[in-house]
Structure 1
């Protein structure tokens, strides 16, 4: 029986596809008067759960450029995404045919410079600025929860990071 379980596990691994890749923007701002860090969350179009803007690779665009584009389309924000990824998380995307596929999301930090009133998905989503802790509570994906809390710590500790780069 052990042999059959191992064999079934090996066959499952051989047939399992590697995760598909998406790119995301962790959009943030620092409230000038309070010096408070805020994260922008959006609702997903299909289930209404809280997410960060993300999307599939685009021909001719680098990962951070895709993150910028998704931030504009899904949340109506403009800014420059960092070229280096901040981190990664995984989730299972349900396709229109009902199949669930594994997805690996590469997250890029994006400091919001401009909020637009008109953007492609404004009618399909709700947006909210929240603290890192609140953002971590609202999202479903455990690895994304961890990234949101790690980001708060990164912004709190001195050293190279988004705040120091701006000061120079």
Structure 2
């Protein structure tokens, strides 16, 4: 209960850069509608976006694109502007909270094999399905933000 309260207490955690993480929202526009790719987490099996630590010598968005390749087996055009961030717990105890910056990734290639294919599932969803499946309401709000950001492209 306390952890849930703390997750939503502040819109941003002042996470040291060494602990800040980056993630991707892999997406495609299919017949004028937004499709989003989700993956399962290794620890709990909940639906999330690919994410991880910012790699040394890489920008946050480059690290996000790398996570999408490793965890979801997709690559494409990464936007260097984050749609926002959400708070996640890391580590086995789940006590340490970090901010995860999410970057839009327009998927141009879906690979048949990828690094974590035996550890995760991937699933393309509509925005409404994302709301039902995402483990964290903050991630669903960021999916909405991506939809709004892409508004013109999606409505055409």
Same fold (TM over 0.5): yes
Alignment correspondent of 2:75 = 78
Matched, 1:35 2:40: no
Q: Cα RMSD between the aligned structures? A: 1.8
Describe the shift of the 1:83–1:102 C-alpha distance in structure 2 as closer, same or farther (beyond 3 A): same
Larger Cα-atom Rg: 1
Alignment correspondent of 1:54 = 51
> What runs of 5+ residues in structure 1 fail to find an aligned partner?
1-16
Alignment correspondent of 2:25 = 26
Tell whether the 8 Å contact from 2:27 to 2:36 is kept in structure 1 after alignment: yes
- 1:131: how far off? 0.7
The one of 137, 143, 147 aligned to 1:148: 143
Partners in 2 of 1:117 and 1:128 — Cα distance? Answer: 14
TM-score (ref. length: structure 1): 0.77
Alignment correspondent of 1:12 = none
The one of 46, 51, 64 aligned to 2:61: 64
Partners in 2 of 1:25 and 1:99 — Cα distance? Answer: 21
Secondary structure in 1 aligned to 2:89? Answer: strand
The one of 104, 113, 125 aligned to 1:109: 104
Describe the shift of the 1:104–1:37 C-alpha distance in structure 2 as closer, same or farther (beyond 3 A): same
Q: How many residues align?
A: 139
- 1:18: how far off? 4.8
> What runs of 5+ residues in structure 2 fail to find an aligned partner?
1-12
